[in-house]
Amino acid sequence: MVFDSSLFINRELSWLEFNARVLHEAFDKRNKLLERLKFISIFSTNLDEFYMVRVAGIRRQIAAAMQAQSPDGMTPQQQVDEIHTRVADLIRLERECLHEDLFPALARHGVRLLTMDELSPEEWQTVDAFFESQIFPVLTPLAVDPSHPFPYISNLSLSLAVRLRNPETGIEEFARVKVPKSIPRWVPTGVPNTFIPLEKVIAANLSALFPGMEIAGSNVFRVTRYSDLELSHAEEPEDLMALIEEQVFQRRFAEVVRVEIETGTPPELQVLLLDELREDQAADLPSLPDIELVETGPLLELGDLMALATLDIPELRDAPFLPVVPRELRDTSRSIFDVIKERDILVHHPFDSFSASVEQFITAAALDENVLAIKMTLYRTSGDTAIVRALTEAAERGKQVVVLIELQARFDEANNITFARTLESFGVHVAYGLAGLKTHTKTTLVVRKEGDGIRRYAHIGSGNYNSKTARLYTDIGLLTCSPSMGADLSDLFNALTGFSRQRLYRKLLVAPGDMRQRFRELIDRETEHAREGKGGRIIAKMNALVDGDTIEALYQASQAGVDIDLIVRGICCLRPGVTGVSDRIRVISIIGRFLEHSRIFYFGNAGHEEFYFGSADWMPRNFDRRVEAVAPVDDKSLHPRLRSLLETQLSDNRQAWELKPDGSYIQRTPRPGEETRATHEILLHDSWGMKVEDTAAVPNAAPAGEGATKT
């Protein structure tokens, strides 16, 4: 069956609606003040990445005269026009929220962001001393004249455009002063929780940088450059690390996509900036659309507000929580391998401790004398973590350690290159995956010698091996010694490090091999059950739903009578509730304290229900251009936990937004006394949101009091 383009929502506009839901959390007065400020920061950094990658990519399509329409029927130019209109509206709302609501409210609680004119004499002295000792030595004024060309402006950096006048000749000059990132953005004034933006301090002291010149004025601006990597899928590079290092370096000089200016920037200065930056455009892309000029208000680079959002003011922030140790792992006298041998362990982060489960598993493998080999994929990790230390320890102890590091993890390329070199220096065998594919799967395989032979232990997850994000993102993980899972992972790692062309697996759904086909088969099976009168049920939780073939399969399932609930945090190109097409499909998005990152898939299967989880969303890139793994949860005693989690999310009437057929989202509003919040329910009960009576049915499930996250 062929569906017309009107049945698909534009990918880029859907993403903007996701970011609009993030911004709404900053408006929501039910959230604590500093939490609301946090969402302003997240909204801003999200928008930066959107321009660096998505908008920049569409502009290049226009430059190449590409007229191919997106699945929803829009041309590249139409998409850019719609994006500009929606972004202008969102920035207006962001400015209104920040300057008319949040800053005044925070000031009433003693958190102030001042201008120089608002400083008291004592505060002036403190700030002036800070400028003299910490800021002035770092600054480098750059003149622009015939002997000094317009300087290179780095991506996302703040700059001051300074207008000067020579008092002897009356000639006006122009200079640029970069606001250094090495100095905290919010300069302390000496009064607790009172700050002044760094660029305001610099602007007030420009005479120290340009002695003898008259300061005619200064304004802050910021540029956004194209920042995606461009690796050819047609040929395999001889040295992938060298190629990516070169591209990371070169993208610093990519074309400018957007220029942000503060309110009040004179028109002639705007013209000057655009004229100079146009000269900076890529020479091989002469037909690029003009740079977008965005007036953002009196303050730029709002991502830096995260530093203020994390101020230690308990009454203005969510109560801290302490992840719990999964009940199965609380007996520290037992080997984690003995525990896993008894039964699979399902963990739910951040509610279940990442360090007490995943990190403990890898650390135990490094130290266990019976472990022969550790194989692991790393997409994004963090600093000198317990995992990196464990891997180097294992290598030093003579174990075979193989780590697949994804060098193309967007904006983490430089970090991952550093990790790769560190691991190699300790004797870890580091591989970089398959040419043309990102390795996005989250898997670890431990090979252990035991009394009855060799046994394989595994961890499969939906989230990165990153201890920092494991405290901020919701993710699912499974610790298992299933022989079939272990055999599948052995085959997968052989494919990643060798010349294996394995496509079919015993248990795992693996992309780009058979994942697309097997998900389609699961959806089609529900469709056939519904047609045969056996009922049909699908619940799928993911970050994004974009893939056209999968959307069409869901439409067909709905028409056959399958009940479908989709929990899609971000982009959703499917239109639910369209008469005769998607009547039985419902879509919600949950935006709250934690980033909903887990991917869980439920299929009713005529009463023989199946649960899957893993690293992949339903997007073309996940099915076709990434190495992904989705695993079944075969232990039926674990099914109540996953079912409870999905039911808890579906019943959320506080943070859930319902997607309407026209592509708009409406936030659910609870009646007085009937609020159900997914995160709140999980915190109140156990790490799966299960009630006291439910936990009794699950072996080793934590009682309500023990499993609840402590505040």
> Is the pLDDT confidence value at 405 over 60?
yes
Query: Highest mean pLDDT: which of 247-251, 488-492, 690-694?
Result: 488-492
Q: What is the mean pLDDT of residues 34-55?
A: 94
β-bridge partners, 145? 148
Q: What is the mean pLDDT of residues 507-530?
A: 95
Q: Express each pLDDT in 271-318 by its tens digit.
A: 888 888 887 665 556 667 788 899 988 999 999 999 999 999 999 999
Q: Express each pLDDT in 530-578 by its tens digit.
A: 999 999 999 999 999 999 999 999 999 999 999 999 999 999 999 999 9
The 3-state DSSP class for residue 332 equals coil
> Is the pLDDT confidence value at 695 over 70?
no
Q: How confident is the model at residue 415 (pLDDT cuts 50, 70, 90)?
A: low
> What pLDDT score does 272 carry?
87
Q: Express each pLDDT in 643-663 by its tens digit.
A: 999 999 999 888 999 999 999
β-bridge partners, 632? 612
Q: What is the mean pLDDT of residues 137-161?
A: 83
Of the candidates 382, 348, 405, the one whose C-alpha atom is nearest the C-alpha of residue 468 is: 382
E strand intervals along 275-393: 292-297, 345-349, 371-378
Q: How confident is the model at residue 205 (pLDDT cuts 50, 70, 90)?
A: very high
Per-residue exposure over 157-173, b if at least 16 CB sit within 10 Å of its own CB, e if not? ebbbbbbbeeeeeeeeb
β-bridge partners, 445? 375, 458
Domain pair 5-316 / 511-707, same fold: no
Of the candidates 405, 569, 601, the one whose C-alpha atom is nearest the C-alpha of residue 474 is: 569
> Is the pLDDT confidence value at 254 over 80?
no
Q: What is the mean pLDDT of residues 326-344?
A: 93
% of the chain surpassing 70 pLDDT: 86
373/10 Cα distance (integer angstroms)? 46
E strand intervals along 134-278: 141-144, 158-165, 172-178, 186-188, 194-197, 214-225, 256-262
> Is the pLDDT confidence value at 245 over 60?
no
> What pLDDT score does 200 carry?
95
Per-residue exposure over 395-418, b if at least 16 CB sit within 10 Å of its own CB, e if not? beeebebbbbbbbbbeebbeebbe
411/511 Cα distance (integer angstroms)? 23
Per-residue exposure over 298-329, b if at least 16 CB sit within 10 Å of its own CB, e if not? ebbbbbbbbebbebebeebbeeebebbbbbbb
> Is the pLDDT confidence value at 698 over 50?
no
Greater confidence (324 vs 411) lies with 324
Structural domain spans, the chain? 5-316, 327-497, 511-707
> What pLDDT score does 98 carry?
96
Question: Helix (H) and strand (E) counts for the chain?
Answer: 23, 27
> Are 327 and 127 a contacting pair, CB within 8 Å?
no
655/666 Cα distance (integer angstroms)? 11
> What pLDDT score does 608 carry?
95
> Is the pLDDT confidence value at 379 over 60?
yes
Q: Is 102 exposed, middle or buried (0-12, 13-18, 19+ CB in 10 A)?
A: buried
> Is the pLDDT confidence value at 502 over 90?
no
Instruction: List the CATH code of the domain at 327-497.
Output: 3.30.870.10
Architecture of domain 5-316: 2-Layer Sandwich (3.30)
Q: Which positions are catalytic? A: 440
> Judging by DSSP bridges, how do beta strands 438-439 and 626-632 pair with one another?
parallel
> Is the pLDDT confidence value at 619 over 90?
yes
* Residues sharing a CB contact under 8 Å with residue 608, sequence separation 6 or more, in sequence order: none
HEC-encoded secondary structure of 393-458:
HHHHCCCEEEEEECCCCCCCHHHHHHHHHHHHHCCCEEECCCCCCEECCEEEEEEEEECCEEEEEE
Instruction: Supply the pTM of this predicted model.
Output: 0.88
> Are 445 and 456 a contacting pair, CB within 8 Å?
yes
- Cα 656 → chain centroid: 19
> What pLDDT score does 558 carry?
97
Greater confidence (425 vs 410) lies with 425
Return the DSSP state at 112.
E
> Is the pLDDT confidence value at 391 over 70?
yes
Greater confidence (273 vs 703) lies with 273
Write the DSSP string, 640-699: HHHHHHHHHHHT--SSEEEEPTTS-EEE--PPTT----HHHHHHHS-TT---HHHHTTST
* Residues sharing a CB contact under 8 Å with residue 89, sequence separation 6 or more, in sequence order: none
The 3-state DSSP class for residue 87 equals helix
β-bridge partners, 405? 378
> Is the pLDDT confidence value at 230 over 60?
no
> Is the pLDDT confidence value at 65 over 90?
no
Q: Find tokens 């350690």 and name the residue.
A: 401
> Is the pLDDT confidence value at 154 over 90?
no
> Is the pLDDT confidence value at 693 over 90?
no
> Judging by DSSP bridges, how do beta strands 112-113 and 442-450 pair with one another?
unpaired
Residues in the chain, overall count: 711
Q: How confident is the model at residue 622 (pLDDT cuts 50, 70, 90)?
A: very high
Q: What is the mean pLDDT of residues 487-500?
A: 85
* Residues sharing a CB contact under 8 Å with residue 524, sequence separation 6 or more, in sequence order: 553, 557
> What pLDDT score does 678 carry?
64
The 3-state DSSP class for residue 162 equals strand
> What pLDDT score does 292 carry?
87
> Is the pLDDT confidence value at 706 over 50?
no
Greater confidence (239 vs 305) lies with 305
> What pLDDT score does 418 carry?
67
> Is the pLDDT confidence value at 707 over 50?
no
Q: What is the mean pLDDT of residues 64-92?
A: 90
Q: What is the mean pLDDT of residues 136-144?
A: 89
**What does the mean pLDDT of the chain come to?**
86
Q: Find tokens 């700030």 and name the residue.
A: 127
Angle at alpha carbon of residue 690, lines to 685 and 693, rounded to 5°: 100
> Are 629 and 477 a contacting pair, CB within 8 Å?
no
Fold of 511-707: Endonuclease; Chain A (3.30.870)
> Is the pLDDT confidence value at 629 over 90?
yes
188/283 Cα distance (integer angstroms)? 44
% of the chain surpassing 90 pLDDT: 62
Of the candidates 679, 684, 691, the one whose C-alpha atom is nearest the C-alpha of residue 596 is: 679
Q: What is the mean pLDDT of residues 435-451?
A: 89
Where would I find the H helices in 11-99? Answer: 11-27, 33-49, 56-63, 76-96
